[in-house]
Amino acid sequence: KAGTDFVDTTRKSLSTQFDDILKQIDQTIQDASYNGINLLQGTDLKVTFNETGTSSITVKSVNYTANGELGIKNSTNNFISNDDVDTASANLKRALDKISSQAAIFASSQTVIQNRTTILIS
């Protein structure tokens, strides 16, 4: 019984830490703005390449939250069972894949912007 109590207490502590990290993820997303633009909270960025506005690119934003679009659910049952931990792990893996994919999309837009501004400056 003592071993079970230790495991339950440890897992409960870990589940609390997990949920706290989800809150930190959401706070980081909220803090990821620059000049009023937050590509992680639904604010698109339009970059205009000429003074007439006929040449531009719009970087489409996403609307992320840990529990929302990223799909990282709060811990369940204080992580008492391995299944609870496995579910959380699978959710994290899917979120990481989604973030990696979105990072590649943002990087592609960044490359276009850098190339276009380099041409304009030259």
Q: Kindly list the distances between the CA atom of residue 39 and the CA atoms of 43, 50, 107, 120, in Å, as whole numbers in the listed order.
A: 5, 23, 12, 25
Residue 30 has pLDDT above 90, yes or no: yes
* Cβ atoms of residues 92 and 69 within 8 Å: no
Residue 45 has pLDDT above 60, yes or no: yes
Residue 53 has pLDDT above 90, yes or no: no
Long-range contacts of 95-100 (CB under 8 A, 24+ apart): 95/66, 95/70, 95/71, 98/69, 98/70, 98/71, 99/70
Q: What is the pTM of this model?
A: 0.82
Average pLDDT taken over every residue of the chain: 92
Question: Which has the higher per-residue pLDDT, 119 or 16?
Answer: 16
- Who's near 64: CB < 8 A, 6+ residues apart? 29, 40, 41, 70
What's the burial of 109, exposed, middle or buried (CB within 10 Å: 0-12/13-18/19+)?
middle
Residue 1 has pLDDT above 70, yes or no: no
